[in-house]
Amino acid sequence: MDNSVLTLATTRRGEIAPQNLGESYLKFEVGQNTQVGLPMKQVQEVMVLQPRYLTPIPNMRPGLLGLMHRRSRVLWVMDLAMLLDVGRLDYSPQQYDIVILRTGSISVAAAVKRVDGIAWTLPDSLQPVPSHVTKGLIPYSRGCLLQAQDVIFMLDGEAILQAPLLQHS
């Protein structure tokens, strides 16, 4: 494919978005130096949440931080790094970066270390997940992207929403 000519479109904010670079995804960091991406079609919203708006629930499973209210809905907030077994968040921050995942009618809020923005990838640029990564990351990954010296694990929102951590909660 010839990448020398890009078809551009204007996004709602007036930014220029490349059209022939394939699928857009939200890029963010979870755990220590672990970059992940989630297809934009599975991202409902990205926001910042102050801890006072997070309601902890006693005796919950590790990895569930509590409940939040957003747009007339109550959502579970999970520590995505803990689910993926790549560390855990600082639980005493000034604010949480939240990614609300949605597939169909199911939504959940994932607290992440840092949101880095939107990027694009061609479907055939996805590589298999290396076997040496932490085993917790494998069931929730569709593959990985190699960009410069970074490895970005592409997540599957549907698999995350089916995680045992979120069942019977």
Whether the predicted pLDDT of 10 surpasses 50 = no
Q: What is the pLDDT of residues 75-115, one digit of tens each?
A: 999 999 999 999 988 877 789 999 999 988 889 999 999 99
At 17 the pLDDT is 53
**What is residue 15's predicted lDDT score, i.e. its pLDDT?**
52
What is the assigned CATH class of domain 25-166? mainly beta
Per residue in 51-73, pLDDT (tens digit) is 999 999 999 888 999 999 998 89
Q: Where are the alpha helices (DSSP H) in the chain?
A: 80-83, 157-161
Residue 119 in contact with residue 25, Cβ under 8 Å?
A: yes
Rounded mean pLDDT of the chain?
84
H, E, C per residue of the chain: CCCCCCCEEECCCCCEEECCCCEEEEEEEECCCEEEEEEHHHEEEEEEECHHHCECCCCCCCCEEEEEEECCEEEEEEEHHHHCCCCCCCCCCCCEEEEEEEECCEEEEEEECEEEEEEEECHHHCECCCCCCCCCCHHHEEEEEEECCEEEEEECHHHHHCCHHHCCC
What's the confidence (pLDDT) of residue 8? 35
What is the pLDDT, as a whole number, of residue 3?
A: 33
